[in-house]
Each structure stands twice: as structure tokens, then as C-alpha cells.
Amino acid sequence: MFRKEEKKALTRLALLSIGWPVGLDRFYDSKTRDGILSIIGWCLVFGGIMYLAPCPSTFQNGSSMATMSPPNPLVIIPMALGVVGALLVLRKGFRLLRQFEQAGD
């Protein structure tokens, strides 16, 4: 069976893969402040993208063709923050996999 270090690494990896937007891995590590900041950060990223992203307008002038409004250039900011956050999640996932691999030695 698994050793204690391997079990801990697998548990943290599972929490990271399932609950990364709500910081479950951080709450598991007893880092409540970091977990709350993770929730706030991902809400700002997703909310900013939803608010600033262009969406089709409703029917105009009786035509059935929906038109797109011009894209808001500020949507780049939450998208860039989302990319940085996703890279940090991937980096932590690889670090946990490496920790699991080294615990087996």
C-alpha cells in the first residue's frame, strides 16, 4: 500500500484537481487566508471575463441576425490573470506529482 507521504501527496493532488477554483487544497493545508484569496481571485477573473466579454446583442430592427458588439480591450486583464492562475495550478500539480514520485523512493 501507500506510505504516509504518498497518501498525503495524492490527497493534495486530488483536492487540487477537483477544487482548484475554491482553494480546497489550501484549506486542507490549513491556509485559510490563502483559500479565501483564491476564491476571491477566481471570482474576479471569471466575473471580469463575463462582464467585459462581448456578447451578441438582441434582435435589432426586426432582423433575425444577431450582431456582435466590438470587443472590450480591458477583457485582456482578467484573461491574463486567468492564464497566470492556471499556470500556477499546473505548476503546483507537477510539484505534487514530483513529491509523490520521490516519496516512493
Cβ neighbours, 10 Å, residue 46 = 13
Residue 67 CA from chain centroid, whole number = 30
In this predicted structure, what is the pLDDT of residue 84? 93
Distance CA 35, CA 69 (A): 36
Distance CA 21, CA 36 (A): 10
pTM of the model: 0.71
User: In this model, does residue 44 exceed pLDDT 70?
Assistant: yes
More confident call, 74 vs 69: 74
